[in-house]
Structure 1
Amino acid sequence: MKPTNVLFILSDEHQHNLMGCAGHPVIKTPSLDALAQRGTRFENAYTPSPICVPARASLATGRYVHDIRCWDNAIAYDGSTPGWAQHLSASGVLTESIGKLHYKSDASPVGFRRQQHAVHILDGIGQVWGSVRNPMPETMGRSPLYDKIGPGTSDYNRFDMRVADTACGWLGEHAADDKPWVLFVGLVAPHFPLVVPQDFLDLYDPREIDLPLLHPSTGYVRHPWVERQARHMDHDAAIGSDERRRLAVACYYALVSFLDAQVGKVLAALRASGLDDSTTIIYSSDHGDNLGKRGMWNKCLMYRESTGVPMIVAGPGIPASKVSETPVSLIDIQNTLLECTGCEAALIDGPGKSLVELACAEDDVGRLAFSEYHAVGSESAAYMLADSHYKYHHYLGMKPELFDVKNDPEEMRDLASLPEYADVLAHFERQLRALLNPEATDAAAKADQDRLVQAFGGREAALRTGTPAATPVPVE
């Protein structure tokens, strides 16, 4: 294929199916819908880890979390493992970022020629308290993450508008470049706080919002690993009432529409700069959000609300209006960027493949996507494998889960204990153990985290160290 520019837009915490083009009956996302119509949407897309920093480290390198040992929100990507930005820059491709990256620091040699409005883990240390897992505190107390829910304009909202405006200006400045470039645009929405400008919240009446499914108050029994997460920090109890739950969901929907507006602004600037025919566009997110399902908020779980991500690719040579069932991952971004810009010599022999190649091929329904979690709120590792039909959760030391996501996309019915699915369950466990040693990986994560905790003065000191909530952004 002829080399193209690449505009890569990454949001934060966007649930995989919350787009009009994904069939959601309520959400309003005209810009993303139009992008999907121009290109290919992968309906089985996943994050390598359902928490920000590990997911972004895997995305940066095309490697799994256990390979690069960026286990949690205190162990961030620092450039020591070569990643796509380094490969592109070494190949002479102009590679810049605007917005949130969530690496170790802006001084880390990660490969970008320039970082504008960069956001990295706070003070280069992130959430040290979340590395205390061996043993884990029974509870961190009341969650403060959802104290503010409702209309307003947060620092995050202002930041995203600034990032989008800067990206628009960048595209105009580089419209006449004669060589391919890669621009990474990192937006924060729809990440909490669930505060959003009133005109977007007006799109969604909280009184008409359905309550999240499978709440424990209705008799649903959470998996023990998930229940332990809830005891560690109970966001749902902090939200409190059904009225606030509906408002929280409405605000999240509104933030998705706010995000869509920023994406639309950037894509309009791309068109105005005459770059549509020479640019590949990728849209995705670092992970999803539980959004109250099973009485859980935030991310950190193996269910699709948390591990699933939106994934749209559009541009020259990419099939239009296609929905692919091939399972894909943020791991696949690296080789996509290298292939699109003509850097085939730098293609990485790893788990990732080019999304352009996958979009143009017949659906590979048996391809596996993998995710893992070794971070805050988990006493033991959790692993996920999914093809286009089944999704398998392996919890170290606990019973597994198995879902038929083709026929049960909401993961309402766990099939793991049913005799007729024993062969499917055994197949996935074999595949998992061929990929890694679950027990040894859990031990390696805890050993690294124990060393980090000791470096910060031991358990009690570490529990008092690090940002207590979301990473702050630069304020004008």
Structure 2
Amino acid sequence: MHSLKSLSLSNKKALKNLVSRNLSNSVSKNASTSSLPNILIIMADQLNGTFFPEGGPAEWLHAPHLKALAERSVRFSNAYTASPLCAPGRASFMSGQLPKRTRVYDNAAEFASDIPTYAHHLRRAGYYVALSGKMHFVGPDQLHGFEERLTTDIYPADFGWTPDYRKPDERIDWWYHNLCSVTNAGTGEITNQLEYDEEVAFLATQKLYQLCRKTTERRPWCLTVSFTHPHDPYVTRPPFWDLYKDCEHLLPSVESIPFAQQDPHSERLLNACDYQNFNITQDDIMRSRRAYFGNISFIDERVGELMDVLERTRMLDDTIIVFCSDHGDMLGERGLWFKMSFFEGSARVPLMISKAGSKSACDGHLVDTPVSTIDIVSTLAEMVGLTSLDEVQQWTDGESLVPFMDKDRQDELHRGPVLMEYAAEGTHTPMVCIRRGRFKYVHCTIDPPQLFDLEEDPHETKNLAYDPAHQMLASSMLDEVNSRWNLPAFDAAVRESQARRRVVYEALRNGSYFPWDFQPLQKASERYMRNHMDLNEVEAQQRTSVNFKYPDVLNSRHHSGIGRSPYKATFGTEPRLGLRVGLNMPDEVIDKINTELDLADLAYSLSIGTGVGSPSTSTENAQKECVSCGKPYSGSHKCHKCNKFCHAIAPCSTPHSEEGASKNATRRAANVSNPT
């Protein structure tokens, strides 16, 4: 057996130049993005943050995967939505802007295409950004910076659910937000929402495998996986239902408050839910909460699938993971259901952020400072080191949470007040909320103010707005509201938006109707083996090792077996020397290639997975014989059997005839000099 170390000096120089040139081409093209971490954002829908008391799932919840994620994450126990409704909350989450700025006031308000989102910022920095699942975009733009959407959305993208402040007592739709979800709660093997989330999870895991295989470009990725559970209807599968048979939390902490004793906004919400036409029993409440808890476990199982793929493909330590929700669910507390209020069950959400790195390096800890979902944009921008951080910040109302990820600095850090807005159904003028420290202040021009001390009164049963001992605080909170919001102008903007949308929607529903609902596109002819693709090339590209470990390329000489080595996926399927710097290539290997490794040895090491024997000595420009087609050549050579160029290290990867294959095997066994 011979080594490439026996090559002549001139041949070695030529080989080094070849490797350096290819490395330079790959690395220079991606120098600004090759070291950036990947990002996985997992979003639940209507997940009540009070069930994550220490930032992670409560001990009694059956959520092993979320609990494991919590151990490696910075957990924010007082995280709030920007607006407690799906479309406004999600638009604010994506843009870092409050609803008054996004103009997404309700579930039928258009999210304008000219508002930058985290998808835009990351994509501009070189990231591949994709979405699997719900984001409740309204309007013709159904991407908002995402390069690809894997699924359609679950709700309509038109103006059909527009509220009307002129008719505060008129419900949007006969079924919209009514209490049938409570009275019909229970179990089911499959539902509309279960089917949707199964598709979301499946396509997300498939995309993760594709990103692991990707070898032609070294782009970091950001994948957002957005589920619709545990959103009502409250129906779960029997195995998840059974987990909570003896649960001690099936009844609310605060019993139903009689209608006449509710605050004005809660009365409006009950009317919006058609409360008067339902008789909600204790059994209804317990079944609804039990199914809701079961669906938390259902989401946990989906999270486990995603985490498993990250771990099996060795991308986990290179990936930032964010887990959050768009808003919460009152779940019968005070007699209220769903969201649309600033009470803790509706407005507080879970938020966990796991930094890239090994579990021991992730420095998981608890942060109790109040924060907002609008902080995510700035946080991601700083975590990945975007050079345009200042430019990103000008488009957001949030603050970066990166400083809070250093647990040794917790005592010296402070964040401004958390601001929330609500301008949708259940009210007929905008409402605003401030969470500052331990206090929460709710203001609406048509309602009495509310002030709660969340440390002394976590269930918000005592309104301190008129308590003599808190008048100075209530007055300062009101001053802050007036300094931050022009509420008459806010109200006028919402009413004008509603009026415009009514005109447009009525017009579009006449005659032929072309909805804005997103239609996922598939390049069907480029999938599997269609369009006469070479089966062997497709298989080589698509095969991904499970639980593979990086071979020690710096010390080992022999790595064989296609599909067994990560470098087969990392460098590409063609056994050529031109290096393709893939997503899974360790930085230390890249550094070693650039600085220390003998490139002749490297060239031989890169023949992994090809079945090539060790080359023998040769002289520069000596005539060689193609092991694929048997023809003599010198220099480069085009194999006449596959019409592809062979290269200096390995034989052509395209299978040839049985005679040629036998000939190849014989030649390799005999260790013919200079395989090409």
- Is TM-score (shorter-chain normalized) higher than 0.5? yes
Alignment match of 2:373 (pick from 322, 327, 330): 330
Please state how far the C-alpha of 1:127 moved relative to its aligned partner: 1.2
In structure 1, how many angstroms separate the alpha carbons of the residues matched to 2:417 and 2:293?
A: 30
Please state how far the C-alpha of 1:388 moved relative to its aligned partner: 3.1
Alignment match of 2:316 (pick from 263, 276, 281): 276
Match of 2:363 in 1: 320
Match of 2:113 in 1: 79
Please state how far the C-alpha of 1:120 moved relative to its aligned partner: 6.0
Alignment match of 2:185 (pick from 149, 171, 174): 149
CA contact (8 A) 1:149 1:248 kept: yes
Please state how far the C-alpha of 1:472 moved relative to its aligned partner: 12
What secondary structure is seen at the aligned counterpart in 2 of 1:453?
helix
Please state how far the C-alpha of 1:456 moved relative to its aligned partner: 3.7
Please state how far the C-alpha of 1:104 moved relative to its aligned partner: 2.3
Match of 2:483 in 1: 434
Amino acid at match of 1:159: Y
In structure 1, how many angstroms separate the alpha carbons of the residues matched to 2:260 and 2:385?
A: 51
Match of 1:362 in 2: 410
After superposition, residues 167-316 of structure 1 pair within 5 angstroms as 167-175=204-212, 178-205=218-245, 208-216=248-256, 221-235=261-275, 238=278, 240-316=280-356
Please state how far the C-alpha of 1:344 moved relative to its aligned partner: 3.1
Q: Cα deviation per residue 1:77-107 (whole Å; 9 max; x = unaligned)?
A: 2422122212222222111111111112575
Match of 1:13 in 2: 46
CA contact (8 A) 1:101 1:118 kept: no
After superposition, residues 31-50 of structure 1 pair within 5 angstroms as 31-50=65-84
CA contact (8 A) 1:50 1:300 kept: yes
Structure 1 residues 233 and 242: alpha-carbon distance in aligned structure 2, compared to 1, 3 A threshold: same
In structure 2, how many angstroms separate the alpha carbons of the residues matched to 1:168 and 1:39?
A: 21
Alignment match of 1:100 (pick from 134, 141, 152): 134
Match of 2:464 in 1: 415
What secondary structure is seen at the aligned counterpart in 2 of 1:9?
strand
Which is strand-richer, 1 or 2?
1
Deviates more, 1:105-114 or 1:137-146: 137-146
In structure 2, how many angstroms separate the alpha carbons of the residues matched to 1:24 and 1:220?
A: 34
The reply to whether residue 90 of structure 1 matches residue 138 of structure 2 is: no
Match of 1:159 in 2: 196
Q: Cα deviation per residue 1:225-252 (whole Å; 9 max; x = unaligned)?
A: 2112212323586362111111111111
Deviates more, 1:274-283 or 1:236-245: 236-245
Q: Cα deviation per residue 1:409-467 (whole Å; 9 max; x = unaligned)?
A: 22122111101111211222222222211232122212211232244449xx99xxxx9
Deviates more, 1:104-113 or 1:41-50: 104-113
In structure 2, how many angstroms separate the alpha carbons of the residues matched to 1:92 and 1:330?
A: 24
Highest relative contact order (Cα 8 Å, sep 6+), 1 or 2?
A: 1
CA contact (8 A) 1:7 1:182 kept: yes
Aligned-pair identity (%): 29
In structure 1, how many angstroms separate the alpha carbons of the residues matched to 2:123 and 2:146?
A: 7
Deviates more, 1:244-253 or 1:141-150: 141-150
In structure 2, how many angstroms separate the alpha carbons of the residues matched to 1:357 and 1:106?
A: 38
After superposition, residues 438-457 of structure 1 pair within 5 angstroms as 438-457=487-506
CA contact (8 A) 1:325 1:365 kept: no
CA contact (8 A) 1:96 1:183 kept: yes
Structure 1 residues 169 and 272: alpha-carbon distance in aligned structure 2, compared to 1, 3 A threshold: same
Amino acid at match of 1:137: D
In structure 2, how many angstroms separate the alpha carbons of the residues matched to 1:37 and 1:278?
A: 17
Deviates more, 1:114-123 or 1:283-292: 114-123
CA contact (8 A) 2:158 2:505 kept: no
RMSD: 2.9
In structure 2, how many angstroms separate the alpha carbons of the residues matched to 1:473 and 1:410?
A: 43
Please state how far the C-alpha of 1:139 moved relative to its aligned partner: 5.2
Please state how far the C-alpha of 1:342 moved relative to its aligned partner: 3.2
After superposition, residues 47-58 of structure 1 pair within 5 angstroms as 47-58=81-92
CA contact (8 A) 1:13 1:286 kept: yes
CA contact (8 A) 1:236 1:295 kept: no
CA contact (8 A) 1:134 1:379 kept: yes
Q: Cα deviation per residue 1:254-303 (whole Å; 9 max; x = unaligned)?
A: 11111111111111111111112111100000000011111110110011
Please state how far the C-alpha of 1:356 moved relative to its aligned partner: 2.8
Alignment match of 1:340 (pick from 371, 378, 383): 383
CA contact (8 A) 2:371 2:415 kept: no
Please state how far the C-alpha of 1:10 moved relative to its aligned partner: 0.7
Match of 1:29 in 2: 63
Amino acid at match of 2:50: N
CA contact (8 A) 1:44 1:388 kept: no
Please state how far the C-alpha of 1:216 moved relative to its aligned partner: 4.2
Structure 1 unmatched runs, 5+ = none
Please state how far the C-alpha of 1:330 moved relative to its aligned partner: 1.3
In structure 2, how many angstroms separate the alpha carbons of the residues matched to 1:289 and 1:315?
A: 28
CA contact (8 A) 1:48 1:372 kept: yes
In structure 2, how many angstroms separate the alpha carbons of the residues matched to 1:450 and 1:249?
A: 38
The reply to whether residue 132 of structure 1 matches residue 178 of structure 2 is: no
CA contact (8 A) 2:73 2:362 kept: yes
Alignment match of 1:70 (pick from 88, 101, 104): 104
Match of 2:422 in 1: 373
Structure 2 unmatched runs, 5+ = 1-32, 521-676
Match of 2:454 in 1: 405
In structure 2, how many angstroms separate the alpha carbons of the residues matched to 1:341 and 1:454?
A: 44
CA contact (8 A) 2:255 2:334 kept: yes
Please state how far the C-alpha of 1:25 moved relative to its aligned partner: 5.2
CA contact (8 A) 1:40 1:359 kept: yes
In structure 2, how many angstroms separate the alpha carbons of the residues matched to 1:80 and 1:157?
A: 33
